[in-house]
Structure 1
Amino acid sequence: MDISTRFSNPGIKAIFSYKSFTAEGVEGRKTLAEAAGFNTVSLIIPNQIHSTHILFCSDQGRVPDCDGVFSTNPILVCSIQVADCMPVYFAHRAEPVFGLVHAGWRGLVNGIFSESGTVLKYYEHVLTDFEIVIGPSIQN
């Protein structure tokens, strides 16, 4: 497991596991969140479908088909699962707004980052006000 503390807001962390982390699925996410000190009841768990769908969430639990989740609720923990796709972490520089996007080749080609900006704009946020951390992914 690795934790990035590159965000200005000390309450927001980007956490990811390595291949040696063998737990998978929802239980794996809970195990990783617990190891990082997060409340596992607070997980947002999207049903990832390699799309450009982004949701803004106010409650924990499973959310319908999407590949990105954002929230302003500081007790929530955004989660995704990736293999060869990129985890992309978002944290607003001045406000408690954060998110996590599953960026696979389909989502990238179809504009998942543009859609992220559109959703944030709908909620009166500007993408340029966010710090973004790209997690590990395959090269080829």
Structure 2
Amino acid sequence: MSSLPQWLIPHWPGLPANVGALSTTRRGGVSPAPYDDGMGQGGLNLGTHVGDQPHNVAQNREIVRAMLPGAPAWLSQVHGTTVVDVARIGPQEVPEADASLSTVPGKVCVVMTADCLPVLFCDVEGKVVAAAHAGWRGLAAGVLENTVDAMRAAGAGELMAWMGPAIGPYQFEVGPEVRQTFLSDALDDSGVRHVEAAFTPVEGKPGKHLADIYGLARYRLHRAGVKQVHGGEFCTVSNSGRFYSFRRDGVTGRQAALIWIK
């Protein structure tokens, strides 16, 4: 049994009228536990690589496809920094990449997540859109900056971004190597302060910190010249009835964030 699909429509002030965007939840599909909706009904798992039956994923993807102007350009995500142009992806091709962009109406950019941070981009004139998958490794390696650079190379003007559902700052416990990775990349004292503010020591666990992936992404986006950054109010781990979370459940599904030019 499936429940009705439930989408998140980004609260994104200034989004051009010719740009569409949405983020799926775990609700409204056909997948059984552990890929269900968290309430005993079918889940909208969109990942082909998590152990769900292929026919379930195909049906779930068709449910999402019905909301869109074209088929999403699915990626094989590897926590890297590669950005692809969806207009150059063949119908059956699933490129290894963690971000995509589009300048063509009806071509849909998509990334899947289950705690990692999805970031949707567009320029203020609605000429270029993009989606990026930013776990901490990809974020530290520069996937957001690469996406910004690729969009500018494609003719984008002033950029804006929306951060979708990800692991929240009270749930993302990390070791010292993660904090040091981001500190090492800070360019000046101001950057160091921004990075340090994103890490809160965990009481009773020396070296452990709670990381604010939203705060880290905001810093890197602002540094790359993206001044209008929205979203960042959801926590996938804390909301089991709405979102898939790998950290919470281990074996679980994937939700998606999508953007396109109408």
Normalised by the shorter chain, which TM-score bucket? 0.7 to 0.9
| CA RMSD, Structure 1 to Structure 2 (Å) | 2.1
2-side partners of 1:81 and 1:64: how far apart? 14
Structure whose CA Rg is larger: 2
Structure 2 residue 85 is matched with structure 1 residue 56: yes
Range that drifts further, 20-29 or 51-60: 20-29
Match for residue 72 of structure 1 among 95, 103, 111: 103
How much has 1:106 moved relative to structure 2? 0.9
Structure with greater contact order relative to length (CA < 8 Å, sep ≥ 6): 2
2-side partners of 1:4 and 1:73: how far apart? 21
Aligned AA (1:38): L
Identity of aligned residues (%): 25
For residues 18-53 of structure 1, the C-alpha deviation after alignment (integer angstroms, 9 at most, x for no partner) is 23343322633442232xx214x5321111111011
How much has 1:10 moved relative to structure 2? 1.9
Which residue does 2:71 correspond to in 1? 42
How much has 1:116 moved relative to structure 2? 1.4
SS at match of 2:147: helix
Which residue does 2:140 correspond to in 1? 109
8 Å contact 2:100–2:147 — kept in the other structure? no
SS at match of 2:148: helix
Cα 1:121/1:106, change in 2 over 3 Å: same
2-side partners of 1:70 and 1:98: how far apart? 6
2-side partners of 1:71 and 1:120: how far apart? 9
2-side partners of 1:5 and 1:77: how far apart? 19
2-side partners of 1:122 and 1:113: how far apart? 14
Match for residue 122 of structure 1 among 141, 153, 156: 153
Question: Which aligned runs of 4 or more in structure 1 are off by greater than 6 angstroms?
Answer: none
8 Å contact 1:53–1:67 — kept in the other structure? yes
1-side partners of 2:138 and 2:111: how far apart? 14
2-side partners of 1:17 and 1:29: how far apart? 11
1-side partners of 2:154 and 2:44: how far apart? 37
Structure 1, unaligned stretches of length 5 or more? none
2-side partners of 1:50 and 1:105: how far apart? 8
SS at match of 2:144: helix
SS at match of 1:102: strand
Aligned AA (2:63): T
Range that drifts further, 61-70 or 24-33: 24-33
Cα 1:14/1:64, change in 2 over 3 Å: same
Instruction: From the two aligned structures, give the one with the greater strand fraction.
Output: 1
Structure 2 residue 17 is matched with structure 1 residue 10: yes
SS at match of 1:48: coil
8 Å contact 1:44–1:59 — kept in the other structure? no
Which residue does 1:24 correspond to in 2? 46
Structure 2, unaligned stretches of length 5 or more? 1-6, 27-36, 38-42, 48-56, 173-262
Aligned AA (2:139): L
Cα 1:29/1:56, change in 2 over 3 Å: same
**TM-score normalised by L of structure 1:** 0.82
**TM-score normalised by L of structure 2:** 0.47
Which residue does 1:81 correspond to in 2? 112
How much has 1:68 moved relative to structure 2? 0.3
